[in-house]
């Protein structure tokens, strides 16, 4: 039989699919935070309806109602961040239990359908008149549910990515970084379209519905690509307790170096003289020595020991600490603090677009560039003890951004009034966020053995969610300091 060759990713189709899936996993979070001006305008407009004539109000559009007091009475940005990240943490833990009893396809497709339905609900709310309190409650419930689905979706996809070459993890993370830019551009186009405020908001929330449909189509296409099927079909062979039937079709060499598992299978097969009986061996059998030969036949099984959480944590703890630190700093000020920075310009058009451009679009473009940079270099890969120190320097951004031009402050002074200071801080802040996130997630699987890579990916996803939750909780404290 001719040796099997590893399929090629023709036209980078699988890479494009994972890029789009990565984009789809963070669409909900980015579309909600980018639309903070819309949500605040709905809440503010309802609260000040007695003081301002309806004909003069901006209404529930994508910019705040200019004639109303724009103070955030609901602390919307803080609650949005917190109720987005807590379910992410909870369901990331739950997903580690679900993956053993619910197939990947069910978890991923079910999550995507749930996200789609909740986005449809959000779009319907645009044209539904409800009280400010009811609107806030419905939005927060939707945020909780949609991020619960996102947690299961992201954890499941990271688990599948552990079966693919490392470059596909980078592509996936790059797609996640692009999600924010996609949301910011959609918001700017809606605002600049010239349509009325309600139509503009509706078109904005219809966009992620289309994006989620594209993600569903991409995932359904994935198993039909030979390259993807080649790696996905290997996954069951790596799970603990799986009995491998050593047939010739599974044991032929592939292009490139053979894995230890493949080499062991071929050696055992050559000893069996054609008597390929399948047996199930436990870890104690493997530790005691080679398989026993009985009645002229050889029992053949390849057993991968069950990975230990503590063992994997000892190998990746520095990267886990980094991912927690990165997101704790980022979510403590973005978007709860950064979305409140106001422009000092006298240009009304610039004031209108200042937050969408300088807070959301700039952050997401630089974050994406930072994530993409790990495709070219991995400093400090060979000096990992330096990484926590480099990540810790990002703590400086907390006081720098707190001292920017934020109205309605009661305690801290304003030291950086000019728009240029805020733009400079945001460039370095977001670039470092994207780079250190991608670097930590890409290096984690390289610190462990192949059969531990999926567990390492799941653990890093948990620490990612932990960092996000800590940052969201800290944002309440930082806002109170203002």
Residue with more model confidence, 94 or 71: 94
Residue with more model confidence, 320 or 156: 320
Please indicate, yes or no, whether the overall pTM of this predicted structure exceeds 0.75: no
The reported pLDDT for the residue numbered 263 is: 40
The reported pLDDT for the residue numbered 99 is: 63
Three-state SS for 49-106 is CCCCCHHHCCCCCCCCCCCCCCCCCCCHHHHHHHHHHHHHHHHHHHHHHHCCCCCHHH
As a whole number of angstroms, the distance between CA 449 and CA 20 comes to 28
Structure tokens at 207: 């966009």
Report whether 25 contacts 180 (CB < 8 A): no
Question: Which residue ranges make up each domain of the chain?
Answer: 11-232+307-481, 243-300
Least confident of 56-60, 306-310, 319-323, 372-376: 56-60
Residue with more model confidence, 430 or 73: 430
Structure tokens at 367: 């974050």
- What b/e string do you get for 426-450 counting C-beta neighbours within 10 Å, with b at 16 or more? bbebbbbbbbbbbbbbbbbbebbee
Decide if pLDDT at 277 tops 80.
Answer: no
| Rg of the chain, C-alpha, whole Å | 26
Q: How many residues does the chain have?
A: 482
Q: What is the mean pLDDT of residues 424-449?
A: 91
Secondary structure (DSSP) of 255-288: SSPPPHHHHHHHHHHHHHTT-EEE----HHHHHH
- 220's CB contacts (< 8 A; 6+ apart) are 109
Q: Which of 37-46, 86-95, 263-272, 386-395 ranks highest by mean pLDDT?
A: 386-395
Least confident of 285-289, 323-327, 347-351: 285-289
| Residue among 428, 370, 376, 373 at smallest CA distance from 400 | 428
Fold of 11-232+307-481: Growth Hormone; Chain: A; (1.20.1250)
As a whole number of angstroms, the distance between CA 445 and CA 430 comes to 24
Least confident of 103-112, 127-136, 287-296: 287-296
- Residue 157, number of CB atoms within 10 A of its CB: 22
As a whole number of angstroms, the distance between CA 375 and CA 355 comes to 30
Decide if pLDDT at 342 tops 90.
Answer: yes
Decide if pLDDT at 271 tops 60.
Answer: no
Report whether 334 contacts 363 (CB < 8 A): yes
């Amino acid at each position: 039989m001719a040796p099997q060759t590893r399929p090629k990713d023709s036209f980078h189709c699988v890479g494009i699919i994972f890029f789009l899936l990565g984009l789809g996993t963070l669409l909900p979070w980015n579309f909600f935070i980018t639309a903070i001006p819309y949500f605040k305008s709905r809440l503010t407009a309802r609260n000040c309806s007695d003081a301002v004539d309806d004909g003069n109000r901006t209404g529930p559009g994508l910019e705040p109602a200019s004639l109303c007091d724009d103070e955030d009475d609901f602390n919307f940005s803080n609650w949005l961040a917190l109720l987005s990240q807590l379910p992410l943490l909870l369901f990331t833990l739950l997903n580690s239990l679900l993956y053993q009893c619910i197939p990947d396809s069910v978890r991923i497709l079910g999550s995507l359908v749930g996200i789609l339905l909740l986005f449809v609900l959000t779009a319907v709310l645009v044209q539904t008149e409800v009280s400010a309190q009811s609107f806030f409650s419905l939005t927060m419930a939707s945020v909780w549910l949609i991020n619960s689905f996102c947690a299961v979706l992201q954890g499941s996809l990271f688990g599948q990515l552990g079966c693919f070459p490392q470059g596909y993890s980078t592509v996936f993370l790059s797609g996640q970084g692009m999600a924010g830019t996609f949301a910011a551009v959609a918001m700017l186009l809606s605002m600049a379209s010239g349509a009325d405020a309600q139509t503009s908001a509706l078109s904005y929330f219809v966009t992620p519905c289309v994006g989620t449909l594209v993600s569903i189509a991409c995932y359904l296409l994935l198993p039909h690509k030979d390259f993807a099927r080649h790696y996905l079909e290997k996954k069951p062979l790596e799970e603990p307790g799986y009995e491998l039937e050593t047939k010739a079709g599974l044991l032929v060499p592939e292009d490139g170096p053979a894995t230890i598992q493949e080499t062991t299978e071929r050696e055992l097969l050559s000893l069996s003289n054609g008597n390929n009986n399948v047996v199930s061996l436990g870890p104690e059998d493997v530790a005691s020595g080679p398989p026993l030969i009985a009645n002229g036949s050889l029992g053949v099984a390849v057993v991968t020991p069950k990975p230990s959480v503590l063992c994997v944590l000892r190998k990746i703890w520095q990267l886990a600490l980094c991912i927690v630190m990165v997101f704790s700093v980022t979510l403590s000020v973005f978007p709860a603090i950064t979305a409140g920075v106001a422009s000092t310009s006298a240009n009304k058009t610039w004031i209108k677009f200042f937050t969408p451009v300088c807070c959301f679009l700039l952050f997401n473009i630089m974050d994406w560039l930072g994530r993409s940079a790990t495709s070219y270099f991995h400093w400090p890969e060979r000096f990992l003890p330096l990484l926590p120190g480099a990540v810790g320097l990002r703590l400086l951004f907390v006081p720098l951004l707190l001292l920017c031009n934020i109205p309605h402050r009661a305690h801290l002074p304003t030291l950086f009034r000019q728009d240029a200071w805020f733009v400079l801080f945001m460039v370095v802040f977001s670039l470092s966020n994207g780079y250190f996130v991608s670097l930590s997630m890409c290096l984690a699987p390289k610190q462990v053995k192949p059969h531990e890579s999926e567990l390492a990916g799941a653990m890093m996803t948990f620490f990612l969610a932990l960092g996000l939750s800590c940052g969201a909780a800290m944002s309440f404290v930082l806002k109170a300091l203002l």
